C-alpha cells in the first residue's frame, strides 16, 4: 500500500529511504508467519513483497518491464495454492492486462488507447489457443497431473480418523464440497444407498473414538455381494487425510490404494491436492470378516460408562436375540423425545448417560456413539463408521456433489448369521436426513435440524440452476484441465480412435499437428491482411508492377508526382499514358470522399496500360 501511494504521488525521491525499512519489515513478516523462509509459501510471500517494493524504484521504462515480468512469475506461483476455474479466469485476465502493458511499452510513442492494446492481447491469446490445446491434450502425459502442485495442508478440511461428540456437527455447518461422484452408468443410486464409507472407529473411552490400527492386515476376503456392481469416478477435494471415500461396500479400488479389513479405502500419502480416482461398489453386500482380535476390540466397554446405562442395556437385552435387541434400542430412540440438532448441549463426565436420559439432543455422532455403546453392553460387537451420506444431484453435469455438510456417522453391528450390518440410528430420529440435505442457514442452540426441501419459486429455481451450472463447469475444469493425466488422455485418444498410437508416434502427431495449425493460422492471417488492403492501393500496386516491366522501377520513397517526373525524363513515350493514371490516383488517394466512378475509371486505365515490353497475357 505504501509503495502504491508513493508511486501514485510521484514520491520517487523517497524510494531510497523507504525501501530498506520496508524490506526489513517484509522479511520480518514472512519470518513471523513461516519461520525459516524456505519453501513454496514463504518463497511466494517474499516474491510478492519484493514486487511491491519494486514500485518504489520506477525511474525508466526498463523498470516497468521488470515489473511486468515479475507479475507474470507471480501469476504462475498462484497455481501452487489454487487452480479452480474462477481463480484461473481471474489470473488469465491479469496476464492479458500485463500483455497489454507490454505492448504499450514497446511502442515508440506511448498510446493511451488501453482498449486497443487489450484487444490485441486477446487476439494474440486466441491465435495461440489452438496449438496450445493440441499440445496439451495430445502430447504424452505423466501418470499424474504435472501442474497441480497444491501445498499439502493448505486450506484442508474433512473427516479425521477420530471422533469426539460435536466434531461432525461442527463440520456439517460447512457447505464446502468434499468430493463429486460421476460416471454412473445407470444413474446415481437412490439416497438410501448413498453411504460414502470413510474411517472406521473401534477404540473409545466413552467420549472420544479412535480408528487405531488393526493388528492383522491383509485384504478383506469376506465380501458377500448381490446384484450388479456400481462403477463411478470420484473427484476428491484436498483433505490432508490418508483415506479415500467409496460407496458402501467398495469392491473395485484405484491402483496404488489399499482396502483394509474394515473396508476402508486408504491412499499411501495425504491427499493434499484435488484427486481423481475410479472405484466400484455393491449396494447389496455384507462384510463377513471378523477375527478374534477384531471381535475383542469391537466388544470393549469403557470403564467410565455409568451404572444407569448398563442397567438400561440389560433391561432392553433381557431375553431378546441380538437383532431384536438392536431393533428395541432403535424403537427407544423413536419413542422418546430425542431431537436431532446441530447445536446440542454440552455434555459432562458421562456423555452417553447424559445424552440418553437428560438432554436427548444431539447430532449423528451422539446417536451412533450411544448406540454402539449400548450394543457392546448387550454383547454385540459394534463399531462406528464415519463418512458422508447423501449428495446433491446436478443434472447439468450428471454428478453428485457431496458437501462437508453431508458428513455423517453410523454404526455397524456384528450378527453371527449375517456379518457386519449397517445400522443408522440417526434415521430412527430424523428419517428426513437420508432423503434431504441439511439446511445450515438457521442454526439455533438445541433447535431441531431443518432440511432443504427445494424451492418452487422462480428465484429459487434460477439460483439452483445457476449453482448447478457453475459446479458442473468446475467439475469439467478439474477433470479435463487440472486432473488431466495419462489415464484420461488414453480415454480421450480412445474416443478419437487414436488409442493405437505409441509414445513416439504420439509425440510426432502432437508436434506436427501443432505446426500445421500454426501454419494454417499464419496463412489465414496473411490472406485476411491482403483482403484488408483497399482497392485503390491494390490497383496502384498493379500499375507499378506493369511499369517495372517497362523498365521504370518505383523507388520505396518515391511518391506518385515524383514518379511521373522521372517517367517523363527517362521514357517520354510513356508519359502521356501514365499521366492520367497517376493524376487520377492522386485525386483518389488524397480526396476526403473518393468517387466510385473515378475508382472504376482508374481500374480501366490500368488494365489498358500495356507498354511494348509487357506480354499481353500478363495481368
Catalytic residue check, 364: yes
Residue 41 grid coordinates? 509459501
Quote helix, strand, coil % in the chain, to nearest 5: 50, 15, 35
Distance CA 386, CA 245 (A): 10
Smallest Cα–Cα separation from 619: which of 543, 537, 554?
543
> What is the full DSSP assignment across 364-378?
HHHHHHHHHHHHHHT
Residue 431 · residue 419 · CB < 8 Å = no
Tell me which residue has cell 486408504: 266
What angle do helix axes 572-589 and 560-570 make, rounded to 10 degrees? Answer: 170
Tell me which residue has cell 511491491: 52
Catalytic residue from among 150, 350, 366, 408: 408
Q: What separation, in Å, do the N-terminal and C-terminal C-alpha atoms of the chain show?
A: 66
CA 349 from centroid of its chain's CA atoms: 44
Residue 194 · residue 424 · CB < 8 Å = no
Catalytic residue check, 424: yes
**Nearest-10 Cα torsion for 338, 358, 365, 367:** -50
Residue 427, number of CB atoms within 10 A of its CB: 21
Residue 327 grid coordinates? 431393533
Distance CA 612, CA 601 (A): 22
> What is the full DSSP assignment across 562-599?
HHHHHHHHH-HHHHHHHHHHHHHHHHHHS-SS--HHHH
For residue 161, what is the DSSP state? Answer: S
Neighbour-count burial for 535-550, b at 16+ CB within 10 Å, e otherwise: ebeebbeebbebbeeb
Residues in the chain: 619
The residues that bridge with 187 in the sheet, in sequence order, are none
**Nearest-10 Cα torsion for 236, 238, 242, 248:** -30
Beta strand 392-394 pairing with 399-403:
antiparallel
Cα dihedral sign for 213, 218, 224, 228? positive
Catalytic residue from among 248, 364, 366, 406: 364
Q: SS3 for 511?
A: helix
Catalytic residue from among 160, 167, 406, 424: 424
Beta strand 339-340 pairing with 361-362:
parallel
**Nearest-10 Cα torsion for 43, 45, 47, 48:** 160
Distance CA 572, CA 86 (A): 71
Residue 382 · residue 412 · CB < 8 Å = yes
Residues known to be catalytic = 364, 408, 424
Amino acid at each position: 500500500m505504501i509503495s502504491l501511494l508513493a508511486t501514485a504521488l510521484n514520491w520517487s525521491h523517497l524510494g531510497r529511504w523507504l525501501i530498506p525499512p520496508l524490506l526489513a519489515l517484509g522479511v520480518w513478516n514472512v519470518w513471523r508467519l513461516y519461520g525459516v523462509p524456505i519453501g513454496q509459501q514463504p518463497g511466494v510471500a517474499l516474491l510478492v513483497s519484493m514486487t511491491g517494493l519494486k514500485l518504489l524504484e520506477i525511474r525508466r521504462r526498463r523498470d516497468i518491464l521488470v515489473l511486468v515480468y515479475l507479475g507474470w512469475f507471480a501469476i504462475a506461483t498462484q497455481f501452487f495454492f489454487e487452480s479452480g476455474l474462477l481463480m484461473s479466469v481471474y489470473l488469465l485476465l491479469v496476464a492479458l492486462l500485463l500483455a497489454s502493458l507490454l505492448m504499450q511499452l514497446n511502442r515508440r510513442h506511448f498510446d493511451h488507447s488501453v482498449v486497443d492494446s487489450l484487444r490485441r492481447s486477446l487476439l494474440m491469446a486466441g491465435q495461440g489457443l489452438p496449438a496450445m490445446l493440441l499440445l496439451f491434450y495430445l502430447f504424452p502425459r505423466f501418470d499424474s497431473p504435472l501442474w497441480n502442485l497444491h501445498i499439502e495442508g493448505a486450506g484442508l478440511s474433512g473427516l479425521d480418523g477420530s471422533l469426539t461428540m460435536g466434531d461432525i456437527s461442527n463440520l456439517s455447518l460447512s457447505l464446502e464440497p468434499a468430493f463429486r461422484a460421476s460416471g454412473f452408468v445407470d444413474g446415481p443410486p437412490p439416497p438410501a444407498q448413498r453411504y460414502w464409507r470413510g474411517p472406521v472407529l473401534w477404540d473409545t473411552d466413552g467420549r472420544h473414538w479412535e480408528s487405531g490400527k488393526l493388528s492383522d492386515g491383509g485384504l478383506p476376503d469376506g465380501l458377500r455381494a448381490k446384484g450388479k456392481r456400481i462403477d463411478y469416478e470420484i473427484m476428491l477435494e484436498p483433505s490432508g487425510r490418508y483415506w479415500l471415500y467409496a460407496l458402501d461396500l467398495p469392491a473395485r479400488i484405484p491402483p496404488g490404494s489399499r482396502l483394509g479389513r474394515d473396508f476402508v479405502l486408504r491412499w499411501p500419502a495425504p491427499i493434499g491436492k484435488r484427486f481423481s480416482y475410479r472405484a466400484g461398489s455393491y449396494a447389496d453386500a455384507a462384510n463377513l470378516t471378523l477375527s478374534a482380535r477384531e471381535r475383542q476390540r469391537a466388544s470393549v466397554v469403557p470403564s467410565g460408562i455409568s451404572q444407569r446405562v448398563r442397567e438400561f442395556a440389560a433391561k432392553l437385552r433381557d431375553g431378546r436375540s441380538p437383532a431384536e435387541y438392536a431393533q428395541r434400542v432403535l424403537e427407544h430412540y423413536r419413542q422418546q423425545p430425542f431431537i436431532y440438532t446441530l447445536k446440542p448441549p454440552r455434555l459432562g463426565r458421562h456423555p452417553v448417560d447424559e445424552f440418553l436420559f437428560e438432554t436427548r439432543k444431539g447430532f449423528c455422532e451422539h446417536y451412533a456413539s450411544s448406540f454402539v455403546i449400548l450394543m457392546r453392553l448387550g454383547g454385540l460387537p459394534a463399531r462406528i463408521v464415519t463418512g458422508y451420506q447423501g449428495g446433491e444431484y446436478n443434472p447439468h453435469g450428471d454428478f453428485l456433489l457431496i458437501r462437508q455438510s453431508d458428513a455423517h456417522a453410523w454404526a455397524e453391528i456384528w450378527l453371527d448369521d449375517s456379518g457386519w450390518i449397517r445400522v443408522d440410528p440417526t434415521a430412527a430420529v430424523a428419517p428426513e436426513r437420508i432423503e434431504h440435505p441439511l439446511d445450515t442457514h438457521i442454526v439455533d442452540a438445541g433447535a431441531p435440524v431443518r432440511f432443504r426441501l427445494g424451492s418452487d419459486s422462480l428465484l429459487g429455481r434460477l439460483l439452483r440452476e445457476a449453482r448447478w451450472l457453475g459446479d458442473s463447469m468446475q467439475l469439467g475444469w478439474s477433470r479435463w484441465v487440472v486432473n488431466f493425466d495419462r489415464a484420461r488422455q488414453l480415454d480421450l485418444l480412445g474416443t478419437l480412435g487414436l488409442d493405437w498410437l505409441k509414445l513416439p508416434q504420439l509425440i510426432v502427431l502432437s508436434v506436427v499437428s501443432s505446426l500445421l495449425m500454426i501454419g494454417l493460422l499464419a496463412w489465414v492471417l496473411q490472406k485476411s491482411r491482403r483482403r484488408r488492403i483497399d482497392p485503390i492501393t491494390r490497383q496502384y500496386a498493379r500499375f507499378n508492377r506493369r511499369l517495372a516491366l517497362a523498365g521504370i522501377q518505383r523507388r520505396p520513397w518515391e511518391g506518385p508526382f515524383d514518379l511521373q517526373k522521372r517517367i517523363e525524363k527517362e521514357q517520354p513515350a510513356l508519359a502521356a499514358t501514365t499521366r492520367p493514371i497517376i493524376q487520377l490516383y492522386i485525386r483518389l488517394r488524397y480526396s476526403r470522399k473518393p468517387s466510385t466512378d473515378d475508382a472504376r475509371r482508374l481500374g480501366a486505365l490500368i488494365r489498358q496500360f500495356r507498354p511494348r515490353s509487357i506480354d499481353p497475357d500478363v495481368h
